[in-house]
Amino acid sequence: MELLSFGKTGWGDELLIATMMTIAVSITAMLIGFLFALIFTPLKLSKSKFLNLIGNSYTTVIRGVPELLVIYLFFFGGSGAVMYVASIFGYNEYIEINAFITGSFAIGIISGAYSTEVFRGAIQSIDKGQFEASKVLGLKKPVHFFKVIMPQMLRLAIPNLSNVWQITLKDTSLISVTGLVEIMRQSYIAAGSTRDPLFFYSFAAVLYLLLTYFSMKLINNLEARYNRGYWWILN
């Protein structure tokens, strides 16, 4: 266990920081995914063929393309786009986009595609009478969505959002290709330095399993509390 000790003789502190980075990227990506889902879910449910096409194109393309390819496109394509804009103003040096921002955004877009489908299914599961009652009461669309639809949508979506979280958490291992030091990247560095890849990759698997276990406990607790009522947080 000396390899996992803290300080100069072990890799414990580096792996702890890498674990925190993995959690930070996962949470950031999920939040970005929620924003994309809130934008594209209404498009997929829209009666407009054009808006519906935009929503369907987003979910189909993103879910149909390998996650690693999406990350490569954003990391290298993003740098290329920024450099092109900079060249217009006379700056021709290489510009590298922050790996955390690029990785979180790329995984967030992937997460958003799956979250969009989850939200769409949740909204379609809400009783039609809820929509009719809102119209009868004359509620404005923002009030109708945030006060009537969204609380019910979240209650129905939480079980499936837990699956999206698991996908997002595991996808963070792919951004090691950008050089961001998360669990997978740090395990690779430690394995190369100590020439003990089996130990460090096995420990990386244990870390991912622990993150999965505790996050699932948290989500299950959230689901149970949310099912007791929308105002459980005040109790």
Mean pLDDT comparison of 95-99, 139-143, 153-157, highest-scoring range: 153-157
Query: Span 63-86, mean pLDDT?
Result: 81
Fold of 2-234: MetI-like fold (1.10.3720)
Total-model pTM = 0.84
Tell me if 112 sits within 8 A of 40, measured CB to CB: yes
Q: Degrees (nearest 5) of the Cα angle 138, 134, 153?
A: 145
Query: Span 52-81, mean pLDDT?
Result: 87
- Token couple for 168: 């997002």
Tell me if 176 sits within 8 A of 182, measured CB to CB: yes
Query: Of residues 98 and 105, which shows the higher confidence score?
Result: 105
Tell me if 107 sits within 8 A of 171, measured CB to CB: yes
Tell me if 145 sits within 8 A of 123, measured CB to CB: no
The pLDDT of residue 231 is: 47
